[in-house]
Amino acid sequence: MNRKQSILAATLGTVALVAAMTVTGGAAANASPPDPTSTDPSTQSCWLDVSTQQSLCVPTGEDLIAAVQNEAGVTLVVPTGTSVSGETVTEGRNAAALFSSASTLSATVVSGIYDDINYGGGSFFLTTGGTGCNWTLTNLGTYGWNDRASSFKSFAGCKTALWQNINFGGTHIGYTTNLASFGSFNDQASSWHTQ
């Protein structure tokens, strides 16, 4: 096979893979971390289901809950009054999401971290379709969230802790339910654990 034929075969293989993923709803695409080269990760709000490893990021200010439901087929169970991607979840918004999700899976939020103190700015939520609170994320940088967090909230009876370095190295803050400001630890977290 000559060089042109090899390039054509590789291109057709890529097109076939993209077509297969489109027909199947793109589930395989949702299972990998976002591509940090596609947009500025420091302006994104994200979601990761720690039990399935599905993830999705959107620009902060966009409706993360709707994006997760539309693109991943997962309904995020988020308490009313919680800030998600810079917007506060209302009771009507939660009811509408749950009502329209008859054919989707649901995932319970166990912890959320925020760019700003007092739970403001961009957000990153860990969810699980499973039970319990013992969940980990060893490297926040994988999702564009290294050294960004300044506050966190815990949900579903869980408690959150953040570490300064990946793989739970260095100093840490937490295990507690909510923390509106990390003080001198602001913008230093690189790994995340709930219990």
Rounded-to-integer distance, Cα 137 and Cα 42, Å? 18
The model's pLDDT over 113-168, given as tens digits with 9 standing for 90+, comes to 999 999 999 999 999 988 899 999 999 999 999 999 999 999 999 999 999 999 99
Q: Would the pTM of this model clear 0.85, i.e. be above it?
A: no
pLDDT at 95: 45
DSSP assignment string, the chain: --HHHHHHHHHHHHHHHHHHHHHTTSHHHHTS---TTTS-GGGEEEEEETTT--EEEEEBTB-HHHHHHHHH-EEEE--TT-EETTEEPPHHHHHHHHHTTTTSEEEEEEEEEEEEGGGEEEEEEEEESS-SS-EEES-GGGGT-TT---EEEE-TT--EEEEEEGGGEEEEEEEESEES--GGGTT---EEEE-
pLDDT at 92: 59
The answer to whether domain 31-194 has CATH 3.30.70.250 is no
Q: Are the C-beta atoms of residues 146 and 138 closer than 8 Å to each other?
A: no
pLDDT at 100: 52
HSE at residue 2, side-chain half, CA atoms within 13 A, is: 1
pLDDT at 23: 26
Q: pLDDT below 50 — which residues of the chain?
A: 1-32, 34-38, 94-96, 98-99, 101, 103
pLDDT at 84: 94
Determine the residue type at 31: A
